[in-house]
Structure 1
Amino acid sequence: MIYLDGVLQGPVLPGRGPPRSCSTWTGSSKVLFYLDGVLQGPVLPGLGPPRYRSYYTASSKVLIYLDWVLQEHGDGPEHGDGPEHGDGPEYGDGPELNSITEKLLLREQLWQSGEELQQQADFCSTLGSSACSLLWSCSSREETITTWLSDGKLHTFLNIAAQTLESFVKSLDEEIKPPAEDHSSNENQFVLALVGTITNIAAVTSGRDFLCSSGHVVLDTLMKLLHLMRPGVFPKLKVLMLMALYNVSICVKGLKHIAQNEDLIPLIWTLLDASEHWEVCLHCLRLLQSFLLEDDVLLLLGSRLLDQELRARVGRLTSSTQPGLRASALQTLEDLKALCPKDGKPS
């Protein structure tokens, strides 16, 4: 570590003051500056008799210096008044040394507690990622889903999953810049495995029926989060969410529930944005095609499917360089045009 003030104006030797061109010299800056000398040089002057010196680590010495800075110098020394050997408080064997020692012990305990909490958080993150990855793998077998349904715990799992995903997506939305997508990180692997498990549940008839009847919370959450996530952010997660919704749409009851969401059409044309990953657009078109193939849902959606922005965005995808996306866009555009005959009314 080096001091903050003056770092761009020239080096400072351990035990010397800041460059004379430094106009700002705060207490925290002094401590950071002095740290270099502490780590390389002798015990700070004024720490008391030699019998006490063995108890002080480099960090402890800096804290003692910080205490001196705050108590004795306030706004700090003037230009060139860095700590010299022989300066500083004279901590002896009395109450002052005991008070400083107690402060150091409390601070060290606080730091240690923080490190332990971080270790626990890392452990829980790794455990959660591993456990959810196992769930994702196991959920690919139909008999596993049947067992989960018979245990009666699936409803609780889905509610917890919905809450967890919502918290994760909101944390993404709070970032000033989209975070780098790292699938190997524990946090990202955790949420991918969570949504992947839901997708596999929806891929099985019994699981799909359960989601259509008792899993409305997680279905509504998936649609809400897809709408909240900015274009281009975490496309793999979006693909899994869309796959889950598509699997549910295979059941007419599930398709109708999704179609009743007032934000459905704005969500679809948002996901067809030009800045989205092509796989997100492809799976969004597949979900849209599910609505276009069901007469009851067409009546339910009505004129919303005649949205001009929706048709324009589908039309732009017909020139995609991805063959699968281009073919899907052409078919979807044709189906959308069939809904609006010459009289301009839905067929």
Structure 2
Amino acid sequence: MNVLFIGGTGHISEAVTELAARRGIELYLLNRGLREASVPDGVHVVTGDIRDAASAAKLLAPYRFDVVVDWISFTPEHVRSNIELFRGSIRQYIFISSASAYQKPLTHYLVTESTPLANPYWQYSRDKIACEEVLMNAYREDGFPITIVRPSYTYGSKMIPASLNSSSHPWSLVDRMRRGKPIVVHGDGTSLWTMTHNSDFAKGFVGLLGLDQAVGHAFHITSDEVLSWNQIYRAIGRAAGVDEPRMIHISSEFIASAAPELGGGLLGDKAVSCVFDNSKIKRFVPDYTATVPFQQGIARSIEWFEAHPDNQTIDDEWNVLMDRIIEASQAGLRR
């Protein structure tokens, strides 16, 4: 089976790349070569830009792929271009959507693949929904062989996953905990969430590659472990050697008003309790089981950063933002 990953070196996709290579899949990565990443032995790298449709078509002309996985399309224009590029030449096109596309607020706490897609809070999610609609229409009208995968919060060893952290300098949260600085937790910290280790996600995902029965279907792939955000932050603290992080609970609405750039990811995603029913992926990939609990996964992350001190960078602007949100919240309480 020849498989093309458009992308393939991100936090989620790197684990899928590693597992696919171990299982003997003939794997090609198409990317611009801008991200530093180790590529497993036997994986072929094709350097190019999928956004330049004419150039990409010429670059990929000598190859024949059974499956194409699109990790990096975010707008309908992106997927329309890819449909034209791969129409009639592949058995399966897997689009990476997002579980944040599911209905907000939820009308039922348990999320299945049939939960409606609607997110009035986050443009990123609405764009993913629009991409899905384009692809489903292409499947219904022209038989374009799509499979949709909706990851929720999926992390790897090079991440410190939290509802509020610096994406470019994730060690900032651990540093703040270790210095005894207050940590902002949205709401009262009791809303429920699911953290999925990328090595677990990879097991379910690789099982979908080339699976004819998966064409026309959507899946989410998550852990079955459900934690509150208080439990998540305490787990990060314990892994970092801080038994009780100084958590400051602030309403998600206040955080979004004080820092609008955080509103989409909170109100449109992490502030809403999400418990996922993984029955569907287990039916299609019967050996799929998530086996990495968050306490174990975050310990791996801390160990990786401890072994790579050059990555223990601090985001001063993010620290200032957290302090500003805390000060504004406490000033409001004093009034």
TM-score bracket for this pair, using the shorter chain length = under 0.3
Q: Which has the higher strand share?
A: 2
Question: Relative CO higher for 1 or 2, CA cutoff 8 Å, sep ≥ 6?
Answer: 2
Q: TM-score, normalised by structure 1?
A: 0.20
Q: TM-score, normalised by structure 2?
A: 0.21
Flag the structure with larger Rg.
Answer: 1
Q: Which has the higher helix share?
A: 1
